[in-house]
């Protein structure tokens, strides 16, 4: 599940959505924040992971073989 954060989104609303998705069995939730140029990765029974522009997202066992360099989402200006 991918949630792209907009300037009007409230942190509480996003947190509630993430919690609900994980409770119904979603195995990975990605919260993309273009304004801050970060990607938050949520997985059941794990601490959230903050990835910055220099990081590479790895889908692990949920999305085997899938990787994404965040520089593709947030190019250096």
* Lookup: tokens for 38: 């970060």
Residue 25 in any domain: the answer is: yes
CB atoms within 10 A of CB 26: 15
> The pTM is what?
0.90
**Structure confidence by residue, pLDDT tens digits, 45-54:** 999 999 999 9
Residue 46 in any domain: the answer is: yes
CB atoms within 10 A of CB 62: 12
CATH number of the domain enclosing 14: 3.90.1570.10
Q: Are strands 56-58 and 49-52 parallel, antiparallel or unpaired?
A: unpaired
Structural domain harbouring 59: 2-72
Please list, in sequence order, all residues whose beta carbon lies within 8 angstroms of the beta carbon of residue 2, skipping any fewer than 6 positions away: 29, 30, 32
**Structure confidence by residue, pLDDT tens digits, 1-43:** 999 999 899 999 999 999 999 999 999 999 999 999 999 999 9
Residue 77 in any domain: the answer is: no
Residue 30 in any domain: the answer is: yes
Please give the tally of structural domains in the chain.
1
């Amino acid at each position: 599940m991918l949630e792209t954060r907009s300037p009007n989104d409230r942190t509480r609303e996003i947190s509630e959505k993430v919690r609900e998705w994980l409770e119904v069995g979603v195995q990975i939730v990605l919260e993309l924040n273009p304004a801050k140029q970060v990607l938050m990765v949520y997985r059941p029974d794990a601490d959230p992971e903050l990835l910055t522009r220099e990081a590479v997202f790895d889908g692990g066992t949920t999305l085997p073989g899938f990787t994404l360099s965040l520089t593709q989402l947030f190019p250096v200006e």
